[in-house]
Amino acid sequence: MTTEICKIDAFSLERAKKIIESGGAVAFPTETVYGLGANAFSTEAVNGIFTIKGRPNNNPLIVHVHRDYDISALVDEIPDYAKKLAKAYLPGPLTMVYKSKGKVSPSVSCGLDTLAVRVPSHEGAQRFLRCVGLPIAAPSANISKHVSPTSAEHVLGDLNGRIELILDGGKCEGGIESTVLDCTGEVPVILRSGLVTRQMIANVAGDCGVYTYIKGERARSPGLMYKHYSPNCETALFSEGELEKALSRYDERAKAGKRVVIICGTEAVRLLGERQNIPLGKTPSEMAKNLYSALREAEKQFDVAIALVPENDGGIMEGVINRLSKACAGEE
Ligand code: AMP
Ligand code: MG
């Protein structure tokens, strides 16, 4: 199969619609990362996504809908706080988990009785979802466990020959995956941090919990169990307070003949001397936006990537550090 990258226009959207209707998968841009979408009503189409990505079949998918789609067709028991959050932050990088009505294929939620729903704000994603007119189950458009794609070229790098069409909407503005929020309880609980922060949620909902996965437990969000977002090179993660340790690791790996790079905030570059670096930007938002392209650049040109990050301030840095901890985790 040849994979084509196409700008989003009436012609490519019509082609995308045909592929989706015939049970295939299409990569499309969102404001977070690129997604790999298929018809959420079709078990065969949804299973195709797991095969294409090599995704474990117990890691559920998020259903994407356009802004005027009535989600009460798919889910039950939408609490008042969720309605307020939807009004404040949707369309946008917030995925909300509800009790499922069981209308989409059971493969989407991998047997859970809940369904994760997202309304992306990216104009290209909206056009695609509206044109297709179906709820689209979509994980990130990368090979399972690899770094998520934030450009059409990243998708091609991972899925060349495995899908027909990549809709090209340019570089993703957000850069890390959506916040996943459990809306099945009294108060919302963050299952995965992202650009819609705990503070933003608490401001609207009055309260917001955070779920922490404990290794060995059955995770409330199965995706949390896996090593994820990982470049194909050796990795290490240090906070800026551990600068000396990060620099000694660099020097030690370089001495062993490895090509080493430090991925860090732009402000930290001056602390590195002559050492190789990939700057992520100054603000947490910039760092989120550039994180995955930096990891992909690191794996192409270096043997060892050392991430050096600011302290966790609980805002967007929470999401950046969460992704880097997974990317730098040992094999799981
Ligand atoms: P990805 O699309 O690859 O970013 O992964 C989707 C994320 O959403 C994973 O971390 C899943 O575990 C999580 N997710 C999807 N559906 C559910 C659900 N019904 N309940 C809890 N988490 C979910
Ligand atoms: Mg993913």
pLDDT, tens digit, 9 for 90 and up, residues 272-307:
999 999 999 999 999 999 999 999 999 999 999 999
* pLDDT for res 225: 66
Q: How far apart are CA 39 and CA 62, in angstroms?
A: 12
Lowest mean pLDDT among 7-16, 50-59, 167-176, 218-227: 218-227
Ligand 1 within 6 A of CB of 192: yes
DSSP reduced 3-state for 240: helix
Tokens encoding 178 = 């959506």
Amino acid letter for position 51: T
The mean of the pLDDT values for the chain is 95
**CA 110 to ligand 1 centroid distance, Å:** 10
**CA 124 to ligand 1 centroid distance, Å:** 22
| Confidence tier at 245 by pLDDT (50, 70, 90) | very high
63, 191, 211: which to mutate for ligand 1, most atoms within 8 A of CB? Answer: 191
Domains detected in the chain: 4-210 (3.90.870.10), 234-328 (3.40.50.11030)
Q: How far apart are CA 191 and CA 181, in angstroms?
A: 6
Residue 330 pLDDT > 70: no
Q: Which atom of ligand 1 is nearest to the CA of 192?
A: 10
pLDDT, tens digit, 9 for 90 and up, residues 68-122:
999 999 999 999 999 999 999 999 999 999 999 999 999 999 999 999 999 999 9
Tokens encoding 307 = 């991430």
| Confidence tier at 221 by pLDDT (50, 70, 90) | confident
Task: Please give the average per-residue pLDDT across 188-213, as a whole number.
Answer: 96
Provide DSSP, 266-294.
Answer: GGGGGGSTT--EEE--SSHHHHHHHHHHH
Residue 198 pLDDT > 90: yes
Q: How far apart are CA 308 and CA 242, in angstroms?
A: 8
**CA 323 to ligand 1 centroid distance, Å:** 14
| Confidence tier at 229 by pLDDT (50, 70, 90) | confident
Residue 153 pLDDT > 90: yes
Q: Which ligand sits closest to the CA of 219?
A: 1
